[in-house]
Structure 1
Amino acid sequence: MSHGTTPPSPLILVADGPLGGEARVPGDKSISHRAIMLSALAVGRSEIRGLLEGEDVLATAAAMRAMGATVERLGPGHWIVDGVGVGGLLQPQAALDMGNSGTSTRLLMGLVASHPVTATFTGDESLSRRPMGRVIEPLGRMGADITASPGGRLPLILRGAETPLPIRYRLPVASAQVKSAILLAGLNIGAETVVEEPVPTRDHSERMLKGFGADLSAEPLPEGGNRIAIRGWASLKPQALEVPGDPSSAGFPLVAALIVPGSDVLIRGVGQNPTRDGLVRVLSMMGADIELLDPREVGGEPVADIRVRHSALRGIEVPPEVAPSMIDEYPILFVAAALAEGRTVMRGIEELRVKESDRIAAMAAGLRAAGVQVEELPDGLIVNGSGGGPVAGGATVATHLDHRIAMSFAVLSLVSRRPVKVDDRAPIATSFPDFLPLMQRLGAREGQSHEA
């Protein structure tokens, strides 16, 4: 799973003309993780179609196998899972290698916390720099014994509680992963576990837990946010699941089509969960020509086809309250802002500093190197756009082992006078193994650093 052991493989993307055609992005990463985990806790066989087969989700699949579930691939995106039932997780015989996946780590820590097993969590160099304190604290209150590396980081050892305790917990910072970890721990507690979130975050866990038969309720709080309660010891029922296209992955071809002159692209079957649609809403505020076609529901999740055409974007002040609905899409929004007319101000996104990399610092450095004027803020970024004309480019940017940084600068290269070189394409495989072939099908090509 580690990307640090092989020589880097640089990537340059070039567009000789407009992008066009149809694309289908990988299955939603958040939903894919949860589909594997909850299928592994059901009693019986679940079938999953459209599963994302990136390295992060494969890490989740390997961990559930290590704890007793049967997880098998029948074909592209088509998997079956024979579950062990809530309370049935087995002691893993080796460390659980999470690769680069913070989602796998935090959610699986929640699962293990209320089972009487001990698990060691390890990860690659990037993941091992990411603090886990926000999930360690509530799981400790539930009775788990967690010994982490300095700073609450991996590797860590989690000893699940023999008699886990229900808690009522208000999240100090809105986080779907921390919320989900607590709810998953609550599955194996015979009482009510309650989580309060200060603002709504992605609700895939709640939707899927209900779909599998968990006793879960969610209601808005008078002061904003939500109260979610789960009563454990439910017998989860196996499901036939279809995973919609990942809106975070769709952001890359979507923004590419917006900024490459003359482009007209259709992206099929993208999830439109209202807790995940912030990028489309913000780009529309900036003047993007985006149409949602054939809205429908797939596996309890809203889905639509997205048609996007090249647009003259204008800089805006992005409302900070949209951040939870698009936190992973900010790197590609920074790229869209670089081509807009005027200033785009993005605040309230300090969480980006503790993602796979410090995404604010990494994007600011790469954008500056490519000739874009930016001002870094403690909690965000101000981007002064080019007004639609190409940026200077000519830089090599550091990905810091971060897949979203790599793909964002590959897209920026499409509208640069001189190509932008991404220092290593390897991290892209964690979430979007088909990124390069998909962009090539739309009309981009792999370029050389000497091209002007």
Structure 2
Amino acid sequence: MSSTASSTAAPMPLVARGARPLAGRVRVPGDKSISHRALILGALSVGRTTVTGLLEGEDVLATGKAMSLLGATVARTGPGAWTVDGVGVGGFAAPPETLDFGNAGTGSRLVMGAVAGCPVTAMFDGDASLRRRPMRRILDPLVKMGATVLQAAEGDRLPIMLAGARDPLPIVYATPVPSAQVKSAVLLAGLSAPGETVVIESEATRDHTEKMLLHFGATVTVVPEGAHGRRITLKGQPELHGATVVVPADPSSAAFPLVAALLVPGSDIVLETVMTNPLRTGLITTLREMGAAIEEVDAREDGGEAMADLRVRFSELSGVEVPPERAPAMIDEYPVLAVAAAFARGTTVMRGLKELRVKESDRLAATADLLRVNGVTVTLDGDDMIVEGFGGKGRPPGGGTVATHMDHRIAMSALVMGLATETPVAVDDAAFIATSFPGFVETMRGLGADIG
């Protein structure tokens, strides 16, 4: 299994221009969160796991390669179709080389959790962007469970050499910030520990790990904790069994054609088989509050995950205030929401966005810069972002060149903006889009977008 390191790709500038209304049906790539977890839990299971609809972006391919290096057999059998022959809980072998995750923050952090519960040592590394991202929040609970950090770059950043625990300890861990990655790392490490591993979160975060652990045969209970939080309890040392995983379309990827259809006059599109897990639909909730015409069609469920086709039509939007407790359900979608806010009537206030500062870029600052360079007034007040919309007085002028900072979501958000601004919008580098949405440009062109 192989992937192309995005860190070595030549810069790929692109320009998006206003064009005809968007129309048609499209299925965006498989959900990245589900894809990572399917490969990891398949590797920790006994027997064969069959995955369809896997996101074949660079981030997920890096996780698949890591599973191969740790001893699982990972094979592609067709477009989006993969099999994983696992080694069982605690069965990872010492990898013969560094686990290189490229730009994959989710993959690197979840695999750290999985390795922490096994008596092996592994070196974790990534590209320049991933090396800047903090890992201490992951390492703290893993060390409490018996893992040892043998080597780390300054500030507990990659490259990191991690020695897994020979006798993992179950812990009760209250996450210091809402983070599905921290929660998932602790639960994956807890698979090898006796007794019960408990994670307490003050704000509910995406629950794919809990759902998928159940799907593979683990015993997991979830109960409310406080006003918005949850207590997740995992019974350790289960025998996970290979499973069939159908990966729904990624709502974070669907966000880009969805917002584009809302902003380009006359548009009417259908996005097929999009995950509608309520802990991932904060963007849809917010856009509907703003007046968006988003209709769920043929709602269904597979493997514990809800999904539906989404019909999206051009809409006149109005500014709203987005509460901070909604952030975990839409943390990756704020850049494209900010673009939508630029076209809305009035002011949109997005609160509690501290987590955006430690994404692939300082995504909060990068989003504000994206808007400013295209003529939109935006204010950062601590961890809040305030956008003054153009609705009722025309469209944002556009005309800027956006610095993407090797961040795929900034690049896609800027290109969506350029489809509806007065003048085209350019990005300095769109190469990193392939980490999460391979075929993005082709998909958008298929709906009628002018990007090139």
Shorter-chain TM-score bucket reads: over 0.9
Native 8 Å contact 2:6 2:58 kept in 1 = no
Structure 1 match to 2:50? 47
**Residue of structure 2 in register with 1:423 after alignment:** 428
Q: How does 1:318-357 map to 2 (within 5 A)?
A: 318-357=322-361
CA distance in 2, matches of 1:170, 1:399: 34
2:26 is matched with: 23
Aligned counterpart, 1:121: 124
Offset from partner CA, 1:223-260 (integer Å, 9 cap, x none): 44111111211110111110011000000000000000
- After superposition, where does 1:36-435 map in structure 2 within 5 Å? 36-146=39-149, 147-387=151-391, 389-435=394-440
- C-alpha deviation, 1:380, in angstroms: 2.4
Where does residue 450 of structure 1 map in the other structure?
none
Rounded to whole Å, the distance in 2 between the matches of 1:194 and 1:19 is 47
Contact map agreement 1:243 1:299 (CA 8 A) in 2: no
Q: Which amino acid aligns with 1:402?
A: D
CA distance in 1, matches of 2:389, 2:38: 40
Deviation of 1:377 after TM superposition, in Å, equals 2.2
| Alignment deviations for residues 52-78 of structure 1 (CA, whole Å, 9 cap, x no partner) | 000000010000000000000011100
AA aligned to 1:192 is: E
4+ residue segments displaced more than 4 Å = none
2: CA distance between counterparts of 1:7 and 1:224? 44
**Runs of 5+ consecutive residues of structure 1 not aligned to the other structure:** 448-452
Structure-2 change in CA distance of 1:381 and 1:222 (3 Å):
closer
Map Cα deviations across residues 331-388 of structure 1 (whole Å, 9 max, x no partner): 1000000100010000111100000001110111121011011001221210001116
Deviation (angstroms), 1:222: 4.0
Give the whole-Å Cα distance in 1 for the aligned partners of 2:208 and 2:32: 11
Structure 2: distance between partners of 1:163 and 1:263: 57
How many angstroms apart in 1 are the aligned matches of 2:252 and 2:70?
29
Q: Does the CA-based 8 Å contact 1:2-1:125 persist in structure 2?
A: no
Q: TM-score w.r.t. structure 2 length?
A: 0.97
Q: Give the Cα separation in 1 of the matches to 2:193 and 2:436.
A: 32
- Whole-Å Cα distance in 2 between the matches of residues 224 and 357 of structure 1? 28
Alignment partner of 2:54: what SS? Answer: coil
Contact 1:390 1:417 (C-alpha < 8 Å) held by counterparts:
yes
CA shift, 1:5, in A, is 3.0
TM-score, length-scaled by structure 1: 0.97
SS at match of 1:86: coil
Partner amino acid, structure 2, of 1:422: V
- State the AA in 2 paired with 1:299: G
1:278 & 1:371 partners in 2: Cα distance?
27
Cα pair 1:367 1:373 within 8 Å, conserved? yes
The answer for the alignment partner of 2:447 in structure 1 is: 442
The 2-side partners of 1:272 and 1:223 are apart by 23
Report the Cα distance in structure 2 between the residues aligned to 1:152 and 1:143, rounded to whole angstroms.
Answer: 17
Q: Classify the secondary structure of the residue corresponding to 1:253.
A: helix
Cα offset, 1:15, TM superposition: 3.3
Assess if the C-alpha contact under 8 Å between 1:15 and 1:443 holds in 2: no
| RMSD between superposed Cα atoms in Å | 1.0
Q: Could you tell me which amino acid in structure 2 is paired with residue 240 of structure 1?
A: T
Q: Is the 8 A contact 2:258 2:312 kept in 1?
A: yes
Give the length in aligned residue pairs: 447
> 2:96 is aligned with what amino acid?
Q
The secondary structure found in structure 2 opposite 1:393 is coil
AA partner of residue 53 (structure 1)? E
Instruction: Give the Å deviation of 1:299.
Output: 2.0
Aligned 8 A contact 1:98 1:123 in 2 = yes
> Structure 1 residue 262: deviation in Å?
0.6
Where 2:266 maps in the other structure, the secondary structure is coil
Aligned identity (percent) is: 59
Bigger mean CA offset, 13-22 vs 303-312: 13-22
1:13 maps to 2:16: yes
CA distance in structure 2 between the aligned counterparts of 1:4 and 1:240, rounded to whole angstroms: 33
